[in-house]
A and B are shown apart, each in its own frame.
Chain A
């Protein structure tokens, strides 16, 4: 039997299961690209006004760190400045999710065994997953390019924009294909692939702020997200960089297929280690169990935030050099920072972005409540004298506490690293205060996840969509000139903008109360419904 037998059926099955996820993501991404470009072109219709409006910003290392290099000082390049990198990351996430859910997740849940016993080749599931992911990536990139051309940007540049997204997306298809062979759990594979994405983002951020020709700048060629930026859509239009994405996909897929031959169904590359024969002290309560199961997640995120904090802190040196440009300040203020030095504005912006990312950790933990329920892992716990409310609150508590810990790690790291490169950098305590001030917004998203998980295990994953929309609207809303009431829907629009501003206590209280109400609503629903 061919190792690819049955790939057609599996592809159809994967497509059938993704018939909402993929089209919705593709459409959302295309709208993100075309919509924000249209808004920007409205604001800066020609190259002259664009150059005047944003020339100061785009040479700012802080903004370059977040969004990558500016391709050219044209209205078109400015119109897509933020969405090139943001979309490249999101397209990579889409590829990652699609590949993982049709390979390791299927294997972990035992469904692949059922399929594998039929006339299905060993490599067929991998091939089908990679195939669907490639189609999803190409659809998103293609539709975005078409959309951009349709709103009036240069067609060649639009094509290059699509190439930038496709390069990143195809690369993560290949990287995830390897990750799902190496790790033996879906969560572990996600840790590897998301971790690689985080590393790629940080490497790119450091490289894009370093002077051209320097060693650090050259490091950017190691990051697939760096490639996406260096396509320089609406500038150099280096569409040939797509070859790097295709190459990573090819190498990744071939490597994954080779690894597949060396491992058992259900196993990973790393041999399964035996565990302890007796349960530790933690394993004596629902809270202890949830905390114990979250240990790996905690370690991974902590490492990521320390690395991120070091990069953000060390950028403060170059940020200070721009302190005198008033236009830089004005634009940074729109982005989310408030009054204060340029260092403060830069940090306030970064802190909110990281808070949005960290809320994903909290949302993911709370959603384990419904994941456990769907897999049948709630039943053994709830058949013991554990009240449902305690099981529910255990997840919510860990989900709410993890962001506290992570934001504290970020604040302390930046607060310790920053002062070593800049005299104007805030110290650890001030940074701790700044990172802590974002928690109410994070908790609102955790609360949304809790309410959904409590009410319905089936639709609980829509909490991811809510978090993503809150991030995009809060982050891009002001520059896309969305109406205020829409922007205000995002909890991130109500933060104090620390360091530098003053703490808006009333808004923090309102957000926290809202989070508590959402948690309570989810708890009431969870207590009253059938267990799936």
Chain B
């Protein structure tokens, strides 16, 4: 059974359309990345899934429950880290963790201790004295320490340093091994790329792409760079099916190719004496930009953004 099923979610705030028929499916036990530019409706979606806002239209089922009607029952089975973590200024971090844990029905003391240590959290500081990153750590410890099957995390690492980001990745992996479902909204694409099996990309309140990372890559062009003994002219290479963005520099040819025609391109190159070849699959960043760059065409593959990093060897 899927952990989260959302169909045609609509929500408007006054004249602003926050969600415009959003669909989302998260399988049980899956770590699901939720991507989108600022203001695309990610946080509104998460708040609707928690029953904090009431949607105007559409259906949502989270762990088989209606988030608005069965909010209390649902909240017994999930933990949430809000996008903007606010703490009670006069309560210490430790007090906040215990409070939130107890409100969720109890804290696993051993797990709590381990998480506080791993995140190197000073529990005795008051809420108002924490930095953004430390506030996020408090909320993360409180969420991860509770024994619930679903974690809803709204950009939980935006304030964490790289070391803590690594700890977070480890904990995410541990959560997955325990069979927990995680819905992770994030801007940090490398984080999503490392942690998530499936991703959903939203834009202006709708889903523009959803699937495994491999599925999404197939929709986007790979970048190929080859050192050849017999270099074709740029015009000749551009005539090969599916090949674009051809640049010839001495004996080196670079171009992009869609997934369908990659085999054909390799055959053409092989016939010209390949002495070196790299093929870089599209990064999530390229996927991302191609999906919500200004001219992005919803649902169809377009060229990756230029100026990306050096290609890696074929995997």
The chain A residues found within 8 Å of chain B, CB to CB, are: 108, 184-185, 266, 272-280, 283-286, 289, 292-293, 296, 375-377, 379-388, 528-531
Complex Cα gap A384–B74 (Å): 9
Digit string of B69-107 for contact with A (CB within 8 Å is 1, else 0)?
A: 001110110111010111011111011111110111100
Complex Cα gap A186–B94 (Å): 23
The answer, yes or no, to whether B53 is at the interface (CB within 8 Å) is yes
A284/B52 in contact, CB under 8 A: no
Q: A185-B128, A276-B92 are in contact. Are A530 and B75 (CB under 8 A)?
A: no
Question: Which label, helix, strand, loop or mixed, suits the secondary structure of the A interface?
Answer: loop
B53/A530 in contact, CB under 8 A: yes
Nearest CB in chain B: distance from A104 CB, A: 12
Q: Which residues of A contact B124 (CB under 8 A)?
A: 274-277
The answer, yes or no, to whether B125 is at the interface (CB within 8 Å) is yes
Complex Cα gap A375–B80 (Å): 17
A531/B105 in contact, CB under 8 A: no
A272/B129 in contact, CB under 8 A: yes
A379/B52 in contact, CB under 8 A: yes
Q: Which residues of A contact B218 (CB under 8 A)?
A: none
B139/A279 in contact, CB under 8 A: no
- Residues of B within 8 A of A (CB-CB), count: 40
A277/B94 in contact, CB under 8 A: yes
**A–B Cβ pairs within 8 angstroms, 8 of them:** A277-B124, A278-B95, A279-B95, A279-B99, A381-B103, A382-B71, A383-B75, A384-B100
Excluding A379-B82, A385-B103, 14 further A-B contacts by CB distance (< 8 Å) are A184-B128, A274-B125, A278-B94, A278-B123, A279-B91, A279-B95, A283-B98, A285-B102, A286-B103, A380-B85, A380-B86, A381-B103, A385-B105, A531-B52
Pick the 8 closest A-B CB pairs, nearest first.
Answer: A275-B92, A279-B98, A384-B103, A274-B124, A376-B86, A277-B94, A383-B80, A279-B95
B88/A284 in contact, CB under 8 A: no
Choose among B90, B105, B123 the residue that contacts A293 (Cβ–Cβ < 8 A).
Answer: B90
A386/B72 in contact, CB under 8 A: yes
Complex Cα gap A376–B47 (Å): 12
A185/B89 in contact, CB under 8 A: yes
B54/A530 in contact, CB under 8 A: yes
Nearest CB in chain B: distance from A74 CB, A: 52
B126/A108 in contact, CB under 8 A: no
A386/B86 in contact, CB under 8 A: no
A380/B47 in contact, CB under 8 A: no
Complex Cα gap A275–B127 (Å): 9
B82/A380 in contact, CB under 8 A: yes
Nearest CB in chain A: distance from B159 CB, A: 13
Complex Cα gap A278–B95 (Å): 5
A380/B100 in contact, CB under 8 A: yes
Q: A284-B102, A386-B75 are in contact. Are A185 and B90 (CB under 8 A)?
A: yes
Q: A283-B102, A384-B103 are in contact. Are A276 and B95 (CB under 8 A)?
A: yes
Q: Which residues of A contact B125 (CB under 8 A)?
A: 272, 274-275
Complex Cα gap A387–B103 (Å): 11
Q: A108-B89, A377-B86, A380-B82 are in contact. Are A283 and B126 (CB under 8 A)?
A: no
Q: Which residues of A contact B102 (CB under 8 A)?
A: 279, 283-285
Q: A377-B88, A383-B80 are in contact. Are A284 and B94 (CB under 8 A)?
A: no
Nearest CB in chain A: distance from B200 CB, A: 21
Complex Cα gap A274–B92 (Å): 7
Nearest CB in chain B: distance from A381 CB, A: 7
Q: Which residue of A lies closest to B112 (CB)?
A: A278
Nearest CB in chain A: distance from B279 CB, A: 45
Complex Cα gap A142–B125 (Å): 48
Within 8 A of A (CB), among B113-130: 123-126, 128-129
The chain B residues found within 8 Å of chain A, CB to CB, are: 47, 50, 52-54, 71-73, 75-76, 78-80, 82, 84-86, 88-92, 94-100, 102-105, 123-126, 128-129, 139
Nearest CB in chain B: distance from A117 CB, A: 15
A277/B92 in contact, CB under 8 A: yes
Q: Which residues of A contact B91 (CB under 8 A)?
A: 275, 279, 283, 292-293
Complex Cα gap A380–B60 (Å): 21
A289/B52 in contact, CB under 8 A: no
Question: Which label, helix, strand, loop or mixed, suits the secondary structure of the B interface?
Answer: mixed
Complex Cα gap A185–B129 (Å): 12
Q: Which residues of B contact A108 (CB under 8 A)?
A: 89, 128
Q: Which residues of A contact B75 (CB under 8 A)?
A: 382-386
Q: Which residues of B contact A278 (CB under 8 A)?
A: 94-95, 98, 123
Complex Cα gap A402–B65 (Å): 38
Nearest CB in chain A: distance from B26 CB, A: 17
Q: A383-B52, A385-B103 are in contact. Are A276 and B86 (CB under 8 A)?
A: no
Complex Cα gap A296–B85 (Å): 24
Q: Which residue of B lies closest to A272 (CB)?
A: B129
Nearest CB in chain B: distance from A19 CB, A: 22
Q: A276-B92, A286-B103, A293-B90 are in contact. Are A531 and B53 (CB under 8 A)?
A: yes
Q: Which residues of B contact A275 (CB under 8 A)?
A: 90-92, 94-95, 124-126
Complex Cα gap A272–B50 (Å): 35
Complex Cα gap A185–B98 (Å): 23
Nearest CB in chain B: distance from A295 CB, A: 9
Q: Which residues of B contact A386 (CB under 8 A)?
A: 72, 75, 103
Q: Which residue of B lies closest to A387 (CB)?
A: B72
Q: Which residues of A contact B98 (CB under 8 A)?
A: 278-279, 283-284
Q: Which residues of B contact A273 (CB under 8 A)?
A: 126
Complex Cα gap A383–B104 (Å): 9
B52/A277 in contact, CB under 8 A: no
Choose among B47, B76, B96 the residue that contacts A531 (Cβ–Cβ < 8 A).
Answer: B47
Complex Cα gap A283–B104 (Å): 12
Q: Which residue of A lies closest to B75 (CB)?
A: A385
Complex Cα gap A480–B131 (Å): 55
Nearest CB in chain A: distance from B6 CB, A: 17
Choose among B76, B85, B90 the residue that contacts A385 (Cβ–Cβ < 8 A).
Answer: B76
Q: Which residues of A contact B47 (CB under 8 A)?
A: 379, 531
Nearest CB in chain B: distance from A501 CB, A: 43
Q: Which residues of A contact B95 (CB under 8 A)?
A: 275-276, 278-280, 283
Most buried by B among A381, A384, A387: A384
Q: Which residue of A lies closest to B96 (CB)?
A: A279
Q: A279-B97, A384-B75 are in contact. Are A272 and B126 (CB under 8 A)?
A: yes
Q: A275-B92, A375-B86 are in contact. Are A385 and B104 (CB under 8 A)?
A: yes
A293/B88 in contact, CB under 8 A: yes
Complex Cα gap A296–B90 (Å): 10
Complex Cα gap A277–B72 (Å): 28
Complex Cα gap A71–B5 (Å): 76
Complex Cα gap A185–B76 (Å): 33
Nearest CB in chain B: distance from A392 CB, A: 13
Q: Which residue of A lies closest to B13 (CB)?
A: A530
Complex Cα gap A531–B54 (Å): 9
Nearest CB in chain B: distance from A113 CB, A: 11
Q: Which residue of A lies closest to B127 (CB)?
A: A275
Nearest CB in chain B: distance from A530 CB, A: 4
Complex Cα gap A387–B51 (Å): 11
B52/A530 in contact, CB under 8 A: yes
Q: Which residues of B contact A272 (CB under 8 A)?
A: 125-126, 128-129
Nearest CB in chain B: distance from A374 CB, A: 10
A385/B99 in contact, CB under 8 A: no
Q: Which residues of A contact B105 (CB under 8 A)?
A: 385
Most buried by A among B50, B75, B96, B103: B103
Most buried by A among B78, B82, B95, B126: B95
Complex Cα gap A377–B84 (Å): 10
Nearest CB in chain B: distance from A61 CB, A: 41
